[in-house]
Amino acid sequence: MKALPNTTPAAGKRLSPRPSQGVEHGGDLTAVRARFPDAPEPWIDLSTGINPVPYPVPALPTEAWTRLPERAQEQALIAAAARRYGVTDPTTIVAAPGTQALIQTLPRLLSQSRVAILGPTYEEHEVCWRRQGHETTIVTDLDQTTDADVVVLVNPDNPTGRLVAVEDMPSPSKLLVVDEAFIDLLAPACSLAGNLPPNTIVLRSFGKTYGLAGVRLGFAIAEPETADRLRLEFGPWAVPGPALELGRLALDDDGWLNATAERLTADRQRLDDILVEAGFTILGGTPLFCLAEHPDASTFVERLGRHGIHIRRFRHQPRWLRFGLPGSDAAFERLRNSFSN
Amino acid sequence: MKALPNTTPAAGKRLSPRPSQGVEHGGDLTAVRARFPDAPEPWIDLSTGINPVPYPVPALPTEAWTRLPERAQEQALIAAAARRYGVTDPTTIVAAPGTQALIQTLPRLLSQSRVAILGPTYEEHEVCWRRQGHETTIVTDLDQTTDADVVVLVNPDNPTGRLVAVEDMPSPSKLLVVDEAFIDLLAPACSLAGNLPPNTIVLRSFGKTYGLAGVRLGFAIAEPETADRLRLEFGPWAVPGPALELGRLALDDDGWLNATAERLTADRQRLDDILVEAGFTILGGTPLFCLAEHPDASTFVERLGRHGIHIRRFRHQPRWLRFGLPGSDAAFERLRNSFSN
């Protein structure tokens, strides 16, 4: 198809900035490759908290691609999620095309509110509530949330790993949002999913633990009326057929998850040992990442970049670095060597 | 993971009703199988306007599943869409996880408005604008849209196939929405995509022409400022990695599309011939479906159902039936035989 006459050619045009302009995210190797053009390939991406050893993607039935997703397929996914997350009433689970899509949607459920976010944490929460006209405050302690209509917390926190116990959860007047994106491999009793307090929405992510972030699949667990509201916001066929199929298979697979939990525990220890040896102080983390501190953090970003290793830094915490897990012995060795060479 | 004690067991619980409660859609075989338990398998689903001979899904790179979708991948998809749709400025294209997701989102861009929808047409437009508090009217002629702030039309229309010429488009004060879901195989000059009027949003669907409705991929074409607003509504990583990859491959494939256009033209004629032979009057359609009328339409729904053929009927037009295209000689023969036996 040729370009129409009298119009600007596509070449040279750039897409407008990333939607969440100003929010830093890990996981984009294109940008970091441009910054370190001489770095060895392949890059090792430790800039996210995504499991580097993914659930193996099988050949999916053709119908998952070709047909509109059917209600029965969605129900099968929800049943697998209910079992995995210990949720007894499947009507309280909403499947969405990624947890980020839910984070974008939650602020639309309420009229203008005072929103306290326990932080610093995953920045999209604040950005999305503020964009919908809510008044947001970042608080560093739950004691500071007493005046808020809505409280948002990431549990365990990203990046600090701070875990608020179930019995210490606040009870704001309108809504408590608990983003449990990194809770999968902690003890089930850490999660609110199985015993949801009133006026609470729990978010669970599929892509991180299962190493399938490209699939875009997340869940909200909420009281049935709120769950219905969320389903209306997304409308029909919100989750693609391949995600319905793959999500169900993976969430039903106890063997894979148990083996993964064991491997990740060992790998997290191995990562910590390397970082301590390199002079870092371990501040916290989850089974999928480690938050470490070093007075010369920015120097390490440069050094690792030259070695083709991408890590996550934090604008407002220049001494902090977050390391995802290397996915192989070779990747662990490259990380170790990049500190000593 | 076992169920927690003292809670209602999952068994017996049902998911709440389909989000767009009351809106009829084709494409769900589970429900129709239950209505006709003795029908022969496999069912032939003619209830949608989805190409029954899909673009072949290749093995996708592992990274499409495992990694967060990168900006560069999205740009490559947008470039392919721009070329396919004759759009010269890629900043005017927004990729979304399905056209339905865009239809859900557009009503959020405007304050309360008078919305005229040229109908009867795809019902989700009205439902979504009304749900966001707008005042909606279904009009049967564009002359009745002069008082409206927003005009929505599906072009060519689903199900009638009515085509409004580019030069006859209305210019409402706030926004013109033209849903071009079924325009791919018409002459390029029928589309507004390549020469967007002010205050206009054009919607293009990927899944119908390419037979990949499960992938959930659609595009909005809008002025750059509106496109930016839409991107903000969706946030980062809105389109899954497999959809980015597959969409780019398919939209770049001229050979497949040309062969498909030729086949669909022949198949549409073959379908019409069968329907006329069975006593139907052809009212219209697109290359992907045929709208036909018969005084005993409801009898045919039953008869075809017993033969394992699912078609689309219309609550408010009991004499109308919409037939998608059979995907093989065998399917054409089953359709023909079901009328004569």
Please report the DSSP string for B266-331 in residue order. Answer: HHHHHHHHHHHHTTPEEEEEETTEEEEE-TTHHHHHHHHHHTTEE-EE-TT-TTEEEEE--SSHHH
Summarised one tens digit per residue, pLDDT across range B217-253 is 999 999 999 999 999 999 999 999 999 999 999 999 9
Alpha-carbon Rg for chain A in angstroms = 21
Summarised one tens digit per residue, pLDDT across range A251-276 is 999 999 999 999 999 999 999 999 99
Taking a C-beta distance cutoff of 8 angstroms, is the pair B215, A65 a contact?
yes
Q: Give the pLDDT of residue B25.
A: 87
Taking a C-beta distance cutoff of 8 angstroms, is the pair A11, A17 a contact?
no
Identify from A30, A60, A208, A216 which residue to disrupt to test chain B contact, counting B C-beta atoms within 10 A and taking the largest count: A216
**Residue A307, Cβ neighbours under 10 Å: how many?**
18
Q: How far apart are CA A104 and CA B237, in angstroms?
A: 12
- Averaged pLDDT, A42-67: 97
Work out the pLDDT band at A23, boundaries 50, 70, 90. confident
- Averaged pLDDT, A299-308: 96
Q: How far apart are CA A29 and CA A43, in angstroms?
A: 8
- Judging contacts by C-beta atoms under 8 Å, the chain B residues touching residue A3 are 86, 88
Q: State percent of chain A over pLDDT 90.
A: 90
Min distance B206 CA to chain A CA atoms (Å):
11
What does the block give as tokens for B46? 């003619």
Chain A neighbours among B 218-237 (CB < 8 Å)?
A: 224, 227-228, 231-237
Summarised one tens digit per residue, pLDDT across range B114-158 is 999 999 899 999 999 999 999 999 999 999 999 999 999 999 999
Binary contact (A3, B50; C-beta < 8 A): no
Report which of residues A340 and A206 the model is more confident about: A206
Chain B neighbours among A 240-259 (CB < 8 Å)?
A: 240-243, 246
Work out the pLDDT band at A99, boundaries 50, 70, 90. very high
- Judging contacts by C-beta atoms under 8 Å, the chain A residues touching residue B19 are 228, 231-232, 234-236
- Judging contacts by C-beta atoms under 8 Å, the chain B residues touching residue A63 are 214
Work out the pLDDT band at B13, boundaries 50, 70, 90. very low
Binary contact (A232, B14; C-beta < 8 A): no
Beta strands at B175-179 and A44-45: parallel, antiparallel or unpaired: unpaired
Binary contact (A104, B234; C-beta < 8 A): yes
Summarised one tens digit per residue, pLDDT across range B290-316 is 999 999 999 999 999 999 999 999 988
Chain B neighbours among A 75-104 (CB < 8 Å)?
A: 75, 78-79, 82-86, 88-91, 97-98, 100-101, 103-104
Which chain A residue has its CA at the smallest distance from B254's CA?
A: A1
Chain A neighbours among B 34-53 (CB < 8 Å)?
A: 45, 48, 50
- Averaged pLDDT, A60-79: 96
pTM of the model: 0.92
Nearest to A242 among B86, B214, B233 (CB): B214
Q: Which of B301, B340, B307, B315 is nearest to B44 (CA)?
A: B307
Min distance A212 CA to chain B CA atoms (Å):
4
- Judging contacts by C-beta atoms under 8 Å, the chain A residues touching residue B237 are 98, 100, 213, 216
* Helix intervals (H) in A134-286: 224-234, 241-251, 254-277
One-letter amino acid identity for B120?
P
Question: Distances from the Cα of A101 to the Cαs of A106, A220, B95, B180, B231, in angstroms?
Answer: 9, 10, 14, 25, 12
Taking a C-beta distance cutoff of 8 angstroms, is the pair B199, B224 a contact?
no
- Judging contacts by C-beta atoms under 8 Å, the chain A residues touching residue B221 are none
What does the block give as tokens for A191? 């999660």
- Judging contacts by C-beta atoms under 8 Å, the chain B residues touching residue A100 are 235-238
Q: How far apart are CA B319 and CA B280, in angstroms?
A: 10
Question: Distances from the Cα of B330 to the Cαs of A32, B119, B337, in angstroms?
Answer: 54, 35, 10
Binary contact (B234, A75; C-beta < 8 A): no
Residue the block writes with tokens 């989805």: B50
Q: Which of A14, A10, A17 is nearest to B89 (CA)?
A: A10
Q: Give the pLDDT of residue A22.
A: 64
Average pLDDT taken over every residue of chain A: 92
Q: How far apart are CA A167 and CA A153, in angstroms?
A: 14
Binary contact (A19, B235; C-beta < 8 A): yes
Q: How far apart are CA B28 and CA A67, in angstroms?
A: 9
DSSP type of residue A174:
S
Q: Which of A132, A90, A97, A94 is nearest to A111 (CA)?
A: A132
Q: How far apart are CA A297 and CA A313, in angstroms?
A: 8
- Averaged pLDDT, A293-297: 96
Judged by phi (left if over 0) then psi (alpha if -120 to 50, else beta), residue B311 lies in: beta
Q: Which of B283, B304, B284 is nearest to B293 (CA)?
A: B283
Binary contact (A211, B70; C-beta < 8 A): no
A with B: how many residue pairs have Cβ under 8 Å apart?
260
Work out the pLDDT band at A6, boundaries 50, 70, 90. very low
Q: Give the pLDDT of residue B216.
A: 98
Q: How far apart are CA B48 and CA B91, in angstroms?
A: 32
Binary contact (A240, B237; C-beta < 8 A): no
B187 touches chain A (CB under 8 A): no
- Compute the Cα dihedral for B230, B234, B235, B239 and give only its sign: negative
Q: Give the pLDDT of residue A120.
A: 87
Query: Reading across the β-sheet that carries A312-313, which strands appear in turn?
Result: A281-286, A289-293, A320-324, A312-313
Summarised one tens digit per residue, pLDDT across range B267-277 is 999 999 999 99
Binary contact (B71, A18; C-beta < 8 A): yes
Question: Distances from the Cα of A118 to the Cαs of A22, A122, A123, A141, A326, in angstroms?
Answer: 20, 10, 11, 7, 29
- Judging contacts by C-beta atoms under 8 Å, the chain A residues touching residue B133 are none
Nearest to B13 among A23, A91, A215 (CB): A91
Which chain A residue has its CA at the smallest distance from B246's CA?
A: A65
- Judging contacts by C-beta atoms under 8 Å, the chain A residues touching residue B82 are 10
Of A9-23, B48-62, B106-120, B315-329, the one with minimum mean pLDDT is A9-23
- Judging contacts by C-beta atoms under 8 Å, the chain B residues touching residue A241 are 213-216
What does the block give as tokens for B173? 């004060």
Judged by phi (left if over 0) then psi (alpha if -120 to 50, else beta), residue A3 lies in: beta
Q: Which of A122, A38, A37, A52 is nearest to A270 (CA)?
A: A52
Q: How far apart are CA A132 and CA A261, in angstroms?
A: 38
Q: Which of B235, B239, B215, B194 is nearest to B92 (CA)?
A: B194
H-helix or E-strand containing A13? none
Identify from B41, B45, B67, B106 which residue to disrupt to test chain A contact, counting A C-beta atoms within 10 A and taking the largest count: B67
Q: How far apart are CA B190 and CA A79, in angstroms?
A: 45
| Whether pLDDT at A29 is above 50 | yes
- Compute the Cα dihedral for B310, B316, B321, B327 and give only its sign: negative
What does the block give as tokens for A27? 């996981």
Question: Distances from the Cα of B161 to the Cαs of A339, B83, B290, B296, in angstroms?
Answer: 65, 25, 8, 22
Q: Which of B333, B317, B330, B310 is nearest to B47 (CA)?
A: B310
Nearest to A97 among B45, B97, B124 (CB): B97
Which chain A residue has its CA at the smallest distance from B247's CA?
A: A65
Q: How far apart are CA B321 and CA B270, in angstroms?
A: 17
- Judging contacts by C-beta atoms under 8 Å, the chain B residues touching residue A188 are 1
Work out the pLDDT band at B22, boundaries 50, 70, 90. low
Q: How far apart are CA B102 and CA B211, in angstroms?
A: 19
Q: Give the pLDDT of residue B2.
A: 31
Residues 6 or more apart whose Cβ sits within 8 Å of residue A135: A112, A113, A114, A115
Chain B neighbours among A 106-135 (CB < 8 Å)?
A: 108, 124, 128, 131
Beta strands in chain A (DSSP E): 44-45, 93-96, 114-118, 135-139, 150-154, 175-179, 200-205, 218-221, 281-286, 289-293, 309-310, 312-313, 320-324
Min distance B135 CA to chain A CA atoms (Å):
18
- Compute the Cα dihedral for A57, A60, A65, A70 and give only its sign: negative
Report which of residues A31 and A82 the model is more confident about: A82
Taking a C-beta distance cutoff of 8 angstroms, is the pair B339, B284 a contact?
no
Work out the pLDDT band at A17, boundaries 50, 70, 90. very low
| Whether pLDDT at B10 is above 80 | no
Q: How far apart are CA A273 and CA A292, in angstroms?
A: 11
- Judging contacts by C-beta atoms under 8 Å, the chain A residues touching residue B224 are 16
Q: Give the pLDDT of residue A5.
A: 32
B25 touches chain A (CB under 8 A): yes
Of A25-39, A236-250, B66-80, B321-335, the one with minimum mean pLDDT is A25-39
Nearest to A71 among B1, B28, B228 (CB): B28
DSSP type of residue A132:
T
Binary contact (A48, B68; C-beta < 8 A): yes
> Collapsing DSSP states into helix, strand and coil, what is residue A127?
helix
Binary contact (A215, B45; C-beta < 8 A): no
Q: How far apart are CA A37 and CA A78, in angstroms?
A: 44
| Whether pLDDT at B26 is above 90 | no
